Amino acid sequence: MATKGATKELTKDMIKEPRQFNVIMFNDDFTTMDFVVDVLVDIFHKDEVTAESIMMKVHKNGQAVVGKYPYDIARTRVDTALMRAKSEGFPFRMSVEEA
């Protein structure tokens, strides 16, 4: 096809992937294992087997990475989990760190 008088311009889109952040869960002696599994399933969308595996890593190692997300998603999920823990009386701790 001919394009009379039209100028073709080549553009190079520089789409940059968002930086990723690890969500880290910490162990404590008061938060129940069932609560941790529920948070992993409900808020972090893990299946039951994966959630139990992560929960055991947290229990045995003192902490574990739950997942890697863009900052806004990581922060929202952590805040939601911490609000749920507070409402249920657990001293549950999580953090967001650059991956």
pLDDT, tens digit (0-9, with 9 covering 90-100), for 43-91 = 999 999 999 999 999 999 999 999 999 999 999 999 999 999 999 999 9
Does the pLDDT at position 19 exceed 60? yes
Does the pLDDT at position 5 exceed 80? no
Distance CA 84, CA 88 (A): 6
Q: Which residue has the higher pLDDT, 7 or 83?
A: 83
CATH number for the domain formed by residue range(s) 30-91? 3.30.1390.10
The residues, ordered by sequence, that sit 6+ positions from 97 with a Cβ below 8 Å of its Cβ are 21, 22, 24
Does the pLDDT at position 2 exceed 60? no
pLDDT in tens, 20-45: 999 999 999 999 999 999 999 999 99
Share of the chain above pLDDT 70, in %: 88
Domain coordinates of the chain in residue numbers? 30-91
Task: Report the predicted TM-score, pTM, of the whole model to 2 decimal places.
Answer: 0.83
